[in-house]
Amino acid sequence: MLPIHTPSNPFALLMDPETVLQAIERSDRLGRLQSRICRPLDKPLIPRVAKEVIEFDRKVDAIRYRGE
């Protein structure tokens, strides 16, 4: 494996992304990392609210907006 000269300033690597990608592909340590794919749930669990609670909320909102 040929040694790669990396600049001391990490922002200088932004000017040569191809060299960075090549170094990542040759990295033994990165190759040994375990990986897994995490996916979000298809449907979020939204709790159902009782009709009484919804009606109470409507009454409170009506009073609040009327200024009572």
Looking at residue 26, its pLDDT comes to 92
Work out the average pLDDT over 30-39: 84
Residue type, 33: L
Distance CA 3, CA 15 (A): 19
Work out the average pLDDT over 13-28: 87
Q: With a cut of 60, say whether residue 3 has pLDDT above it.
A: no
Q: In percent, how much of the chain has pLDDT > 90? A: 10
- Name the residue with higher pLDDT: 45 or 58: 58
Contacts of 6 (CB under 8 A, 6+ apart): 13, 23
Q: With a cut of 60, say whether residue 55 has pLDDT above it.
A: yes
